[in-house]
Each structure stands twice: as C-alpha cells, then as structure tokens.
Amino acid sequence: MEEILNKSNFQGIVGLKNLGNTCFMNSALQCLANSVPLMDYFLGYNWRQEINVNNPIGTGGVVAEQFGVLVRAMWECEEYRVIAPKAFKRALGAFRAQFSGYDQQDSQEFLAFLLDGLHEDLNRVMQKPYVEEIDSDGREQEEVAVEAWKAYLLRNRSIIVDIFQGQLRNVLSCMSCRYTSFTFDPFMYMTVPVVRSGRVHICDCLAEFCRPEILSLDCQWKCPKCKVPRDAEKKMDIWIAPPIFIIHLKRFQENSFGRRSKLDTFVDFPTENLDLSEFMGSKQPGTHTYDLYGVSNHHGSLSGGHYTAFAKNRVNKKWYFYDDVRVKEVRAEDVCTKAAYVLFYHKVYIPEEIRMHSSDGEVVPMPLQYERNISGGLIKRQSITVPHYWPHVNDPSVSIRDSMDPSEPPEVQTLRDALQKAAVNASGDASAQDSPKSEGSRINKFSSSRVASETALG
C-alpha cells in the first residue's frame, strides 16, 4: 500500500513525493489521474476482472494493479495531501530497468511505457491470432481503413484502445504514374515537430506533421505499378482522432554528431476549442474539437531539467499546478508556457453526439444536464462483433444497415458497405470474442461518462 503523508480535504488534488529524480513520473501521473474516462474505469468499474495474466508481453497485471491502487488513493482518500508512490515505482522498475533507478528520465517515454503496460495487462484478447498486413491494392481508402482497424482489434482490445488510440493515414503517391497507396496505423499519441521560430502555434506544429514530403534519391519508393523505385510524395494525416488526444512536442533533437539539444520555442495552444478538422484525412461526421485538461512541462536543460504538470480538476473545474508535493491553484490563462512538453486534450461532444445504448440496443439520449466535455460523451468499447461501435462511425445511433440517404457523400456509403462486410465476416470469427469475464460489465457513475458494453449488443 502507498505511504500516505499529511492531510487535506480536496478530492483528487494530491501531491506526489519525489523519490529521487522521479519528477518525470509524477508529472505524467498527474495528467493521467485527471483523465476522466480512465479514472471512471479504475474507480467505478471492476477492472480487475479484465486483467490478462496470461499475456506474455504484459506484466501479469502487476502494473495495472499498482496503478489502480495509486489513483484510488489519489481520488478516494480525501484526507491525504501527499502520497509517496513507492510501490508503483518498484513495480515499473521490475519490468523496465530504465525506471528502476533514480536517474532523470523522459516523461513522454514513461507515459508511453505505462500506457503500453496498462494496455497489455488489460487486453481483452486472450489469444492473439496471426494477422496479415493490410494492402490497399487499389481499393477505396474507407474500406482499407475499416479493414486495418479490424485487423488491429483482432489482437488489441482494451480500455487504453477505447480511450487513447486513433488511426493515422499514410499516403504514398508515385510521381511518375500517380499510383497511390494507403496504409492505416493505430496511434496513441502524436509526436509533432516544433517549428524553429521564436513563437509558434500548436496548429503550426500539426501542419508540419501533415506536410507532404518528397521521397527521392536514396529514399525512392518502389512503386507497385511501375515495379521500379520512383520519386514519390508521402503525406500523413489523422484518419480517426481518439477521445483523448495526446500531443508530444518534439523538443529534444539530435544533431549529426549525436549531440542532443532542447528547443525552447514558445508553442501557443488553446485551453478550449482546438479544432483538428484541417488535419483530418477522413470526412467523419461530428465534431473534431478538443479541450485541454493536462500538460506535462519540462523546465531547464537536458542536464539539469525538472518536470511539473498542470491539470484541470474534474470536481471543481479549476486548474492546478503540480510540482511534486507542492500543489497550487492557477488561472487557465497561466497554463500555456514555453515549458509545455506533452499536451492532453479531450474531445468535446455536442448534444447530438451524446448518446448511449440500453441493453436491448435502443438508443437513449443522454440527459441535458451533462456538460460540454468528455464526461458527457460515449466511450465506445471496441469489439470485433460490433463494428458500428468503431471510431469510423461517430454516431452509434446510425445502424450500418440503414439505407443510404440520397444526399450522403459516396465515401460515407463506402464506409457503410465496409462496416456491413466487417460485421458479416466477424459473426463466425472465434478470435473476435473477448474474455467471458468482461461480459455484461459496465462502468459505474463515478462521473457522467460511460463505457458501452460490447456484449450488450451481441
């Protein structure tokens, strides 16, 4: 059990003791502990029933167990002000030597390791089947995207996939014959370049990530149609944006001599209404607007840096600055600083998108009192057997078997056809089934968010 120090009455507003250069860990943990749907899962749901102890690339549930104990102490032990996360650190260090000692580490690398560990510990897939690489082969990109997501879900289904993972589109176009190939890959966070300038906006960084580049000389692409290496244009963009969108600012760079340096460029970013529409490659319905709820900061240089965090409390809606054990309230306008390193955004759900399913499949609108944030949104539990819960369909009230609206764009009809095909093919797929322990389970009302049970609809 975590060592508890001092006392307070503020739910979730808790400092974390620095155990010796562990500020990187504390910074990331404060942001995750203020991720509403993740906390609903660990605080309002019997998550232990989903621990996959037989996953060879998991930790046997150790990391998930210690994370669950820690965040429960942070949120439900209202009388405590400071927690020393010793047991949690020991658990991580046992599975990754990088985090076993007391050297300063990178908060983003720690975050990636922790989310990967939680995913594998809570993976609902009991036996991972072999899955072949998906080839576009001249097909419509909507169909390829759906097929790629299904292939990914055959091996990966967890609360981490449900909340944090989206899909990127990679487009390669031959500059000789114009043959175009599409590939679609899952992502859990987006690492964006920091444009070299005195002060830039986060949209400038996202635009640079999506900017086309030319592959030539030694980097030519072997065109499947030309059968020889050709100059090609490569472009990446967002196909599906997840409920929680994490942006990693690439501040640390390495030169040709192997020396690393830090870019102190001031990156402006909004605390509300970050619109990702211009960076989306798909024409998904609904909003692509996000609000900020957490920031992991890095202060100083590579040799003498320090990590802190800003996080918005779900209870009182106020912002707080977390510097290990020191916690203080701040204004929303003070959150954007040149120390920002990892940004945590949640999707804004408009009333038309805020829906849930009852056990008989009926669509029930959420009550009007739910707020304009992820707490009122639907976190769709990813399942092979219920493809209309996939993120390729933003409105789960629309059946994939509905007739096409005459005004509907062709790419939407292509998406419907692909989802219908996926549903038929999945009906007899034994590997599509999750652990029976997760059947019929739902998340309790720790807050107003929901995780829709895949088994409730088949």
Closest CA to 438 of 44, 60, 124, 67: 124
CA separation for the pair 29, 20 (Å, rounded): 16
Locate all alpha helices (DSSP H) within 96-134, ordered by sequence. 107-121
**Residue 133 DSSP symbol:** P
Please state whether beta strands 15-16 and 82-84 pair in parallel, antiparallel, or not at all (unpaired).
parallel
Active site residue 306: yes
* Nearest residue to 456 (alpha-carbon basis) of 381, 355, 377: 381
The CA-atom distances, in angstroms, between 28 and each of 60, 106, 108 are: 23, 10, 8
| Strands 190-193, 244-250: pairing kind | parallel
Q: Considering 219, 288, 306, 346, which one is annotated as catalytic? A: 306
Residue in 115, 93, 106, 132 with CA at minimum distance from that of residue 25:
106
> What CA–CA distance (Å, rounded) separates 170 from 212?
10
Catalytic residue among 23, 174, 205, 210: 23
CB-based contacts of 388, cutoff 8 Å, min separation 6: 396, 398, 399, 400, 419, 423
Intra-chain end-to-end CA distance of the chain, in Å: 39
- Which residue shows structure tokens 């060879």? 56
Spatial neighbors of 218 by CB under 8 A, at least 6 apart, are none
Residues marked as catalytic? 23, 306
